[in-house]
A and B are shown apart, each in its own frame.
Chain A
Amino acid sequence: VVVKTPAIEDIGAERRENEDICSVSVLYFQKNGVSNGSPYKKPFIEHFERTPMYVAVLTFLGFGVGTIFGYLRDFMRAWGLEKRNVAAEREQQKDFVPLYQDFENFYTRNLYMRIRDNWNRPICSVPGPQFDLMERVTDDYNWTFRLTGRTIKNVINMGSYNYLGFAETDANALKTVTKELQKYGTGICSTRQEMGTLDKHIELEKLVARFLGVEDAMVFGMGFATNSMNIPALVGKGCLILSDELNHASLVLGARLSGATIRIFKHNNMQSLESLLKDAIIYGQPRSRRAWRKIIILVEGIYSMEGSIVRLPEIVSLKKKYKAYLYLDEAHSIGAVGATGRGVVEYFGMNPDDVDVLMGTFTKSFGAAGGYIAGKKDLVDFLRTHSHSAVYATSMCPPVAEQIIRAMKCLMGLDGTTQGLQRVHQLGKNTRYFRRRLHEMGFIIYGNDDSPVVPLLLFMPGKIGAFARRMLEKNIGVVVVGFPATPITESRARFCVSAAHTREMLDTVLKALDELGDFLQLKYSRYSKSAHPELYEETRFELED
């Protein structure tokens, strides 16, 4: 277990020593030891258990076998011994340069294709805690799919980012959305700077700013574009972007489009970030040696593939020390963490003013679409005038805006109920329960104890397919992820816990996981703690005697 302790200088050395001496299980349950001198107000526990060596070897072996067979089959295809299912070029275009180079596609064709049935599964109901899947079959080993017309009813949904359960069809809840839809229709047909600023948008922006406790906010029609279109407005040539190595593709794209220099720091690693900051300021720009115009740190609140929470207090202190700016992407964390669902800033009990750019999406917790950027009035005013999105992209459609407004009002208690707060608490409870049980069973799971994104490590490529298919047989829909979205040895299944999941549903899933874990031998953790459940909360017993 790699327990990441707060790396603050004065307590750092002592703690590092402890880490070496103490048995891992003590650290593993460590809950009291981190507050002393640390910027954290409560324990910050993250698990990243190292891959056992034999598992890594077997995983590479698995990929090796897959690759060898891939070459064999490519060879057979080339000689006409196996049917070619790859999209062929039309007769007139035969001598064009191929659209996909053969090698680029090797992985897709020979490895991904074998387990392709586990992605893009079509659903035909609301993506709530349970959904209906459309049954599909393949007649040519996953090259094409055929819908049978049957549906698989009531599959437990562990894949959608429906953290607070706002993806719902309850007529009463959607009353206002229906009304707006009837009033405005579905489209806007214009951009923000032209004729696309509706009164609805202004209302939403004011609400978002109030919810986050900042001066102003601006909303955009698509979450992905919020990042990729706005980062270029904020930084440019002569600026430096320090980006976490596991940042989402939209942040990476935005950073690339901006033309600024990009440097990557190790995931959530403050030493790595600090040394980059230090070097950047001391040595300036490469070649010209001029000082950087500005330095911006790009991080996410919850990392969607690791389930880890950003070490915000340390980043904020670093940012203040080195006068850098902080861009925080709360796509997964807004609504999902914090006592009232206000994201990681609230989770750490910090001031929203400490973060320069607060970005988030409405796709996840709010069950809608789009994204926002919030912060100081200057910042938002600048974006209103200079954001590519404001000038060129169509604005958010009114029923979607209304859905966000209703969900946010519910969270803030403006609808006169405590329902929103209950959802946040329920999510926290479900998350901790689900994570604790998985730990007990002996799975390797990554991330923070409070993060509703729960990655369960499968490691081997063969197990990706087996796991997802078996789970579906048990009527549970899961998301599995492999290379290139994860490192090659760390294929995983990802569960997204929702407030809408009942204890029964979670128990069903856990039971299925327990059985499947034995069947597929997925319980790799060396620190499982199933023997004496009454001792779970004990932290010091090994040190006392």
Chain B
Amino acid sequence: LLVRNCHFCVFPRWCFKLLSGNIFFSLCCLWFSASTDQELSRGDSDESSLWFPSSAKLGRWKGNSRALEYNWGIPGIVYAQKFGVQFYSVLNVNRSHQKLLILGNFSTELNTEHTNAPAYHLILEGILILWIIRLLFSKTYKLQERSDLTPKEKEELIEEWQPEPLVPPVSKDHPALNYNIVSGPPTHKITVNDKECINFASFNFLGLLDNEKVKNAAQASLKKYGVGTCGPRGFYGTFDVHLELEERLAKFMRTEEAIIYSYGFATIASAIPAYSKRGDIVFVDEAACFAIQKGLQASRSNIKLFKHNDMVDLERLLKEQESEDQKNPRKARVTRRFIVVEGLYMNTGDVCPLPELIKLKYKYKVRIFLEESLSFGVLGEHGRGITEHFGINRLSGQGYCFSASLPPLLAAAAIEALNIMEDNPDIFQTLQGKCKRIHRALQGISGLKLVGESFSPALHLQLEESCGSRENDVKLLKRVVDYVSVPIVFKIHCCLLI
């Protein structure tokens, strides 16, 4: 059995042959001894006999250490000892010693003065030994050989395999294939497919996109630095404007430090895995945006979703975790815990209850990741985002940068935008005023309901009743859009998708 199954094991095959041979051998010896030996009755109470029963007697001839050497020199016997110390203890000393010598291929002077075994014993044992030798040198029977494919079969398999196409075909009238092409800058007026509209679709909340000052700052930067940085931050991709922007951002947000990434989408998606690793636990709001979801996926942490803005549900999860931690405090000491929320949710248009979150944070010792793509520069008296909105100070400290660097002209533009935000804090008031006005104005349209906060610049209009399928919903909304002929509809579309 062992020989047959040895392919499951990492040991070389011969090990098993030796082992199985010895076990068989030992069993036979046991049988012999039990049937014939007088020494059985004598018993061997010597302490050392348990470990190596015959050593004491062998020692009579050669001294203990020598005898032990023989034994340890033969792995099979050592195995056999583990399996059957007992039957060794009942073996005839001389006989077992003989076997040892034969097995180990030792040509030593064998003291045979005590040999008094009957002839049939020797014959049978001789057969046994021959059988073991045969077992050792016989060609091993391999299970795999039967299942191995022939090269021809392999070729056939390769020939037969047909992969799926790289991409499934896309129907030509897919909405995303018929892009709305914008010509000219997407400011408050936008030309979509050669038709001029009022722009309600871009995230240009503060109207800084076509600001002359911003453009001029970018222009100056272009003159000095060119367009690209030709390198990541580590390898000469750090420009003085990057450092300035980071410093200014930190000051503006009143944090210790700030880090800029070259792409909005990449920021949260790579910041989460930078801190939260495999085995850590992240509590995430259900409505978290796609970038957060990707970041969580990349972090390979343990993810727990709580209901959107539901602090009771979050606390329930935290409590669950706490009781889990008490069970395994050692693991809990090294498991980082994070809550990931958005300042202003892109998917729902409402804000997170930050004060409650902060309370929970200290109560359960969890860190908070706050994604402020939408709330930064929108909420709060000075546009510092959700923290200012709730009057909460600085959240947490440092970060580290892993990404390729931002074109300097964009950094320069961002610095200028910060300048404008600092110099004219009333633009936030203007924005808030406008938000509230349109929020009021959009209320009470029959068939559509408005969700989100009144101060949020991203408004979500939802169908009050679904027409059954998502496709029909989208079609209906599309018709609304075409009727209004303002690009605002795209947001509605998005909202439904989510």
Contacts and interface: CB of A to CB of B under 8 A. Distances in A.
Interface of A: 87, 90, 92-93, 95-99, 101, 119-128, 131, 134, 147, 157, 159-162, 166-169, 171, 174, 177-178, 181-190, 192-199, 202, 221-225, 228-229, 234, 253, 256-257, 278, 281-282, 291-296, 322-325, 356-357, 362-364, 366-369, 378-379, 381-386, 388-394, 397-400, 403, 477, 479
B240 A323 contact: no
A167 B265 contact: no
A-B complex: 8 closest residue pairs judged by Cβ atoms: A382-B167, A222-B263, A393-B265, A189-B202, A160-B230, A403-B227, A195-B201, A367-B228
Interface string B207-235: 01111001100110011111111110111
Contact of A190 (B168, B203, B242, B333): B203
B333 to A, nearest CB: 7
A96 B367 contact: yes
Nearest to B187: A185
B266 interface: yes
B12 interface: no
Interface in B256-301: 262-266, 269, 275, 289-291, 294, 297-298
B487 interface: yes
Contacts of B404: 222-224, 363, 369
Nearest to A88: B397
A169 B237 CA distance: 16
A394 B264 contact: yes
Given A181-B218, A393-B264, A400-B407, A194 B201 contact: yes
Given A185-B218, A186-B410, A295-B163, 7 more contacts: A97-B365, A185-B211, A186-B413, A187-B204, A292-B161, A369-B229, A385-B177
B226 A367 contact: yes
A195 B202 contact: yes
Given A174-B222, A381-B177, A185 B215 contact: yes
B69 interface: no
A168 B226 contact: yes
29 contacts: A96-B367, A97-B365, A99-B367, A121-B236, A126-B226, A127-B236, A159-B235, A160-B235, A160-B237, A174-B226, A187-B209, A195-B182, A196-B182, A197-B179, A198-B183, A199-B183, A222-B265, A223-B404, A278-B154, A292-B163, A294-B165, A362-B228, A384-B176, A384-B179, A390-B176, A391-B176, A393-B265, A394-B263, A479-B236
B210 to A, nearest CB: 5
Contacts of A390: 176
Contacts of B407: 368-369, 400
B410 A479 contact: no
A394 B265 contact: yes
Interface stretch (B56-64, B125-133, B334-342): B334-342
Interface string B165-184: 11111100010110111111
A526 B126 CA distance: 62
B190 interface: yes
B240 A134 contact: yes
A473 to B, nearest CB: 17
Nearest to A173: B226
B439 to A, nearest CB: 20
A273 B304 CA distance: 39
A385 B497 CA distance: 14
In this complex, the interface size class of chain B, counting residues with CB under 8 Å from chain A, is 35 or more
A391 B290 contact: yes
A293 B163 contact: yes
Given A87-B398, A185-B214, A225 B238 contact: no
Given A121-B236, A197-B179, A356-B166, A369 B228 contact: yes
B164 A363 contact: no
A381 B170 contact: yes
Contacts of B410: 186, 397
B256 to A, nearest CB: 9
A101 B161 CA distance: 47
Contact of A167 (B230, B242, B269, B290): B230
A257 B298 CA distance: 6
Contact of A225 (B158, B203, B215, B265): B265
Given A99-B367, A363-B228, A385 B176 contact: yes
Contacts of A294: 163-166
A199 B186 CA distance: 11
A165 to B, nearest CB: 10
A92 B202 CA distance: 40
A364 B230 contact: yes
Contacts of B174: 381, 385
Contacts of B181: 197-199, 202
Contact of A389 (B179, B201, B233, B265): B265
A121 B238 contact: yes
A336 to B, nearest CB: 12
Contacts of A87: 397-398
A388 B297 CA distance: 14
A194 B297 CA distance: 25
A69 B101 CA distance: 55
Contacts of B165: 294, 378
Interface string B485-498: 00100110010000
A324 B163 contact: yes
Given A367-B228, A379-B166, A159 B236 contact: yes
Contact of B224 (A134, A169, A177, A222): A169
A133 to B, nearest CB: 8
B185 interface: yes
Given A121-B236, A124-B240, A167 B226 contact: yes
A29 B365 CA distance: 64
Nearest to B154: A282
Given A202-B181, A224-B404, A323 B239 contact: no
A99 B336 contact: yes
Contacts of B297: 257
B243 interface: yes
A182 B210 CA distance: 9
Contacts of B227: 167, 174, 177, 367-369, 399-400, 403
Contacts of B211: 185
Contact of B186 (A147, A195, A202, A378): A195
Contacts of B184: 183-184, 199
Given A124-B240, A127-B229, A190-B203, A97 B334 contact: yes
Given A123-B238, A282-B157, A178 B219 contact: yes
B154 A198 contact: no
A222 B236 contact: no
B180 A195 contact: yes
A369 B176 CA distance: 24
Contacts of A188: 186, 202
B149 interface: yes
Contacts of A400: 227-228, 407
A182 B215 contact: yes
Contacts of A162: 230
A97 B337 contact: yes
B231 A161 contact: yes
B162 interface: yes
B137 interface: no
A312 B400 CA distance: 37
B253 interface: no
A392 B253 CA distance: 26
B228 A366 contact: yes
A300 to B, nearest CB: 16
Nearest to A170: B226
A42 to B, nearest CB: 29
B409 interface: yes
Contacts of A234: 166-167
B196 to A, nearest CB: 13
A399 B266 contact: no
A234 B290 CA distance: 18
A177 B203 CA distance: 24
A382 B265 contact: no
Contact of A119 (B158, B235, B290): B235
